[in-house]
Amino acid sequence: MNLSGKRAIVTGSNSGIGLGVAEELAKAGADIVLNSFTNRDEDHALAAEFAEKYGIKATYIQADLSQATEARALVSKAGGCDILVNNAGIQHVAPIDEFPADIWDRIIAINMNSAFHTSAVALPFMREKGWGRIVNIASAHGLTASSFKSAYVTAKHGVVGMTKTIGLETAGQGITCNAVCPGYVLTPLVEAQIPDQMKVHNMDRETVIRDVMLERQPSRQFVTTTQIGGTVVWLCSDYAAQVTGTTISVDGGWTAL
């Protein structure tokens, strides 16, 4: 699939799922705008590495997506985009009656509100060109729920609803909006949790992955960032031109239960 000449903004993309998505888009020829809340030398070096490795244009733009003005400025500073991947997200686990209000507000702001702000600024650019792709990285938790993850579940359900609305508002304009709903993905953050889980449950690595971490994922296999990235690339292709306002589950059968 050839996305040469397309500019893609991927939020939260200096590691994990966002980085994997950005890499697959770059392999397909898209110019990449990387983003996170940090502004380190290594962030800008990562963009330079992308440009050299994939023969594309790549930049890094710092933005704290918990702030509406910075989320909107990200798209403006990039000069608009053809492809917007709203991926940035954080997590916190606690019962409702113990959930810190400030953390609730931050999760809703980053995981849900930022997708509204970036999309609102990106859409006029897309309409001007008569082509655009918005892909929201939601979650299996955008379609179902788990205890103690109220803010995350609420935000991801909201992202799915927003996806449907944008899909309707842009229908027939050459623009699509869809949500990818991953199950558990093997990111560096998840990888770092495995040794602790092995100690807590007194299990070997493979057993703790299969029977504890992936208990709700019928395939008992982690989704990879490459698989998420490949799904995003497909949604950006002409093959998916009539796929809009919907969710694509990449969850090893989780939501089939």
User: pLDDT averaged over the chain?
Assistant: 97
Q: Return the CATH number at 164.
A: 3.40.50.720
User: How many separate domains does the chain show?
Assistant: 2
What is the predicted pLDDT for the residue at 189? 82
Does residue 242 come out as left (phi exceeding 0), alpha (psi in the -120 to 50 range) or beta? alpha
202 and 100 in a common domain: no
pLDDT tens across 37-82, in order? 999 999 999 999 999 999 999 999 999 999 999 999 999 999 999 9
**Rounded CA separation 11/130 (Å):** 23
Percent over 70 (pLDDT), the chain: 100
174 domain-assigned: yes
Helix (H) / strand (E) element for 225: namely helix 225-236
The closest alpha carbon to 257, from 214, 224, 216, belongs to 216
What is the predicted pLDDT for the residue at 1? 79
Q: Which residues are catalytic?
A: 152
242 and 212 in a common domain: no
151 and 78 in a common domain: yes
Q: Are 175 and 134 in contact (CB under 8 A)?
A: yes
120 and 46 in a common domain: yes
150 and 192 in a common domain: no
230 and 120 in a common domain: yes
Provide mean pLDDT across the span 192-208. 93
pLDDT tens across 144-171, in order? 999 999 999 999 999 999 999 999 999 9
